[in-house]
Structure 1
Amino acid sequence: MARLPRASWLRTALAERIVRRALSGLELRVRLGTTETLGLGGPVLDVHEPKAFFRRIGAGGLIGFGESYMAGEWSATDLVGVLTVLADRAASLIPAPLQKLRALWARKQPAAQRNTPEGSRENIRHHYDLSNDLFALFLDETLSYSSALFRGFPADRSLLAAAQHRKIDRLLDEARVGPGTRLLEIGTGWGELAVRAAGRGARVHTVTLSQEQRQLAVERIRDAGFEDRVTVELLDYRRVVGEYDAVVSVEMIEAVGAEFWPEYFMILDRLLAPDGRIALQAITMPHERMLASKNTFTWIQKYVFPGGLLPSSEAIEQITTERTALRVRGREGFGPHYAETLRLWRERFEEQAPEVGALGFDQTFRRLWTFYLAYSEAGFRSGYLDVQQLLLTKETSR
């Protein structure tokens, strides 16, 4: 990561001019080296190597901004605070004329990251097959890797497991999961939702593309005494067959990709029994920002979630209405709860830095993950991102 990318002097100079102008109007204190300060005051962003910082942004835009942090060329004592200010102004950081020319200067998503059945397997492995031991270092004992639902703020780490169960139970309640329910879960994770559903007497079919997650989920389900009620398959959602009384999926739609959203909902429609219910938990972004960025290659896609894209509420409504008999019957947003969840994960991850290193992950990886967790937290704190639980049922007239 220390090697600087190639960038023309013109592109670098233009990037520096745009970035300086943007930073000067933000409630930040940006220290460029030891000789210059920009901004209106606020959280401090220390740029230790200004030339490298601007060159990376010139070469890669916002990808370069994240890479510059990974390389240690800038830092912030209050990283979330800095990123929250930036997230709050995400739509206006780049001048309007350049926004209109986005298709000319922004990098396109690589074809290799398309979420075809083969591409999805590789995209999921990139993130979820890193190491079960790594995730166990910063998640709570439920191994739930999605937003919790707290009773109040600030959240306490000792209450995180209970807040995760509260989230899971609300989804299961919405889907009316109980004794004898035929439940499909798309995206097994490490099996906590399947265990909780089986504990209600449901018969669970849960599918995942992560070999690492499946292996540990099977062990956890067996240890809980529910292996006779839960089947865990290494299977793409497009290959699921059967009919189910309920479908539950937690933060999996983000890995589907806009190209495949219609197929995803059409498959849910096909799999759901006539009187069935679907409970989804999804991270969402504003519709206009989703449209503007859906074809752009981002830092998150390059380093964290290949092929990932957050839907908007409008996109979900439009696709389900036009392509399926499914209708959104309930919606509850709780973005601030995700900000707190991410804070607890990030603090724990930072505390466990020596253990992360002992697993074989170097300093660049640790800076990458610190930035990813802080960047995500900032998105929710600014209101740029939301997380919602959605209830869908079939329209009876069709």
Structure 2
Amino acid sequence: MSDTSTLRTAAPRIRPDLELWPDLAQLPEGPRARVSARVANGILRAVCRRLDIQLVHPDEALDPTRPAIVLHDEEEFLLRVGSDGLIGFGEAYLTGAWESPDIAALIGTLGANIDRIVPRWMQRLRRVHVRREPRRHQNTIDGSRSNISHHYDLSNDLFTLFLDPTLSYSSALFPSEVVQNDGHRVALAPAPPAEDASTALTAAQHRKIDRLLDQAGVGAGTRVLEIGTGWGELALRAAARGATVRTVTLSQEQLELARERVAAAGLADRVSIELLDYRLVEGEYDAVVSVEMIEAVGDEYWSTYFRKVDELLAPGGRFALQAITMPHGRMLATRDDFTWIKKYIFPGGLLPSVEAIERITAAETSLRVADRLSMGAHYAETLRIWDQTFSAATPQVRALGFDVTFLRMWHFYLAYCQGGFASGYTDVQQMTFVKESR
């Protein structure tokens, strides 16, 4: 028999600041909203039964071994989910209409069974019900700057609170067994770190960066272009190898701190950092490296992105790409959807599939895949550590001026992504390309 306990989380009824969170101010109302709520209720209960998810109220006992949804305001939850699907699901969490003792486990269960959640006949009607992403989120040169600023210019101090000292905001690569699978390699799930989590994460971030630099052939005298600076750690490690690095970003906050870090390391003569769109870069480089930036490119510009890399690489040059990916069929089905992540975290974002990347590079460039490592389980562990560290830093986050709704949003974002990687719904790849002679 499973051990059960009553988890009496005090109802976290959030009263969002309506100037900061205007879309949380009103509940959906009217006949259509009520009908949608009834439909959502039926689907929700059927899914919970089928997937063994506990659907309970705060005073009911919970089995800690099973994922759970704890309803603090069932009416609000159903109205929001019924009217706005997964956006409503996330917004109902922001207002405290529901809670879960382990959001990552809940999302992992849903992600592993995504094709079974909604009946097939309803999936065929998704275009009628699911909102399309606003045109203002298109990744034009001006639009990309705005989209990137929305997330990355929040506050350098905020990111410093939960990232490790390298300030790497991308999947780390922990020690683990690597196996061959269908033409590429897979880094299996890492063991929980035996040492301090921050120390383990720092080492794993260095391992990730060093592997990318090795794959790109970066060494003394290499001319390196980095597309997407982050806070400068990859540029620093490339320059320490004797390379000359040009790195471009669209985040003013990242630019300023990355320049400070480069200057402090005494490497300003080897690293130049510019506020510049990748489409405007000129020159010739022996190596191009880009870490989790392609997710912000947008599918309408993927061809532009890869053709630009091809144009910038010297003959025989190498391109090392780290990309978050999703299955091709799922990407095609959802690429125009307006999701909670796109609304609140990454406007204009879209995860490519490995198939889409390989098709575009094969058809439109001289870039050819030389190596691919899948490491999604490592992102789940990276996110777990980030979420744990962020939660522990709650007082410091509040001191920066972020409110309780933001805290819930950020926790939901990190745990939601952790569940996606743990379930295999999303993955992350290190892909190496070599520029062949035409």
SS in 2 for 1:118: helix
1:323 alignment partner in structure 2? 364
Which string of whole-angstrom CA distances, capped at 9 and with x for unpartnered residues, describes residues 303-338 of structure 1?
A: 000000100000001111111111111100111111
Structure 1 residues 18 and 394: alpha-carbon distance in aligned structure 2, compared to 1, 3 A threshold: same
Gaps of 5+ in 1: none
Which of residues 3, 19, 22 is equivalent to 2:44?
A: 19
- Counterpart Cα distance in 2 of 1:259 and 1:20: 38
- Checking the alignment, whether the CA contact within 8 Å between 1:182 and 1:203 is kept in structure 2 is yes
Describe the SS at the equivalent of 1:140: coil
Q: Give me the whole-angstrom Cα distance separating, in 2, the residues matched to 1:341 and 1:11.
A: 37
Matched, 1:296 2:321: no
Corresponding residue to 2:166 among 142, 154, 162: 142
- Contact preservation (8 Å) 2:316, 2:436: no
The match for 2:102 among 62, 66, 78 is 78
2:121 alignment counterpart: 97
Q: Which of 389, 393, 406 matches 1:348?
A: 389
Cα distance in structure 2, aligned partners of 1:348 and 1:95: 38
Alpha-carbon distance in structure 2 between the residues aligned to 1:27 and 1:369:
27
Q: Is the 8 A contact 2:249 2:255 kept in 1?
A: yes
For the aligned residue pairs, the C-alpha RMSD in angstroms reads: 1.5
Report the Cα offset of residue 301 of structure 1.
0.2
1:395 corresponding residue in structure 2: 436
Residue of structure 2 equivalent to 1:206: 247
Report the counterpart of residue 192 of structure 2 in structure 1: 154
Distance 1:175 1:9 in 2: 56
Which residue, out of 391, 410, 420, partners 1:369? 410
Give the deviation of 1:82 after TM superposition. Answer: 1.4
Q: CA deviation at 1:77?
A: 1.3
1:160, CA displacement in angstroms?
1.0
Kept in 2, the 8 Å contact 1:5–1:59? The answer is no
SS of match in other structure, 1:61: helix
> Are positions 1:266 and 2:304 aligned together?
no
Q: Which amino acid aligns with 2:368?
A: R
Tell me whether 1:187 sits opposite 2:231 in the alignment.
no
5+ unaligned residues in a row in structure 2: which ranges?
A: 1-15, 17-23, 176-189
How much has 1:122 moved relative to structure 2? 0.4
Q: Which amino acid aligns with 2:28?
A: R
Deviation at 1:115, TM superposition (A): 0.5
Q: How many angstroms apart in 1 are the aligned matches of 2:39 and 2:70?
A: 21
Report the Cα distance in structure 2 between the residues aligned to 1:322 and 1:386, rounded to whole angstroms.
24
Give the secondary structure class of the aligned counterpart of 1:176.
Answer: coil
Are residues 1:6 and 2:31 paired? no
Shift of 1:364: 0.4
Question: Equivalents in 1 of 2:70, 2:221: separation in Å?
Answer: 58
Greater alpha carbon shift after TM alignment, 76-85 vs 243-252: 76-85
- Post-superposition CA distance 1:54-89 (Å, at most 9, x none): 000112100000111111111111221112111111
Q: Which amino acid aligns with 2:329?
A: E
Gap change, CA 1:260 and 1:289, over 3 Å in 2: same
Specify which of 83, 108, 115 is matched with residue 59 of structure 1: 83
Aligned length, in residue pairs: 395
Which residue identity is paired with 2:393? Q
Indicate the SS of the match to 1:279.
strand
Partner of 1:228: 269
Q: Against the structure 1 CA distance between its residues 36 and 57, is the aligned structure 2 distance closer, same or farther, given a 3 Å change threshold?
A: farther
- Could you say what secondary structure the match of 1:388 adopts? strand
Q: Distance in 1 between matches of 2:83 and 2:53?
A: 24
TM-score (norm 1): 0.96
After superposition, the Cα gap between the structure-2 partners of 1:318 and 1:10, relative to the gap in structure 1 and judged at 3 Å, is same
TM score, norm. by length of structure 2: 0.88
Superposed CA deviations along residues 327-379 of structure 1, whole A, max 9, x for unmatched, are 11110011111111100000000000111011000000000000000000001
Matched, 1:278 2:300: no
1:5: how far off?
3.0
Question: What CA distance in whole angstroms lies between the structure 1 residues aligned with 2:368 and 2:41?
Answer: 47
> Could you tell me how far 1:43 is from its partner in structure 2?
2.1
Task: Give the percent of matched residue pairs that are identical in Structure 1 and Structure 2.
Answer: 56
SS in 1 for 2:116: coil
SS in 2 for 1:297: coil
- 1:96, distance to aligned residue in structure 2 (A): 0.6
The structural deviation recorded for 1:157 is: 2.7
Q: What SS class does the counterpart of residue 42 from structure 1 fall into?
A: coil
Give the secondary structure class of the aligned counterpart of 1:66: helix
Which stretch has the larger CA shift, 3-12 or 198-207? 3-12
Deviations 1:119-178 (A, max 9, x none): 000000000000000000000100000011111411333211111011000000000001
Matching residue's letter, 1:64: G
Q: Is the 8 A contact 2:212 2:430 kept in 1?
A: yes
Change (3 A) 1:86 1:4: farther
Aligned to 1:125: 149
Check whether the contact 1:27–1:85 (CA below 8 A) recurs between aligned residues. no
SS of 1:301's equivalent?
helix
Partner of 2:8: none
8 Å contact 2:167–2:231 — kept in the other structure? yes
- Give the CA deviation at 1:33: 6.1
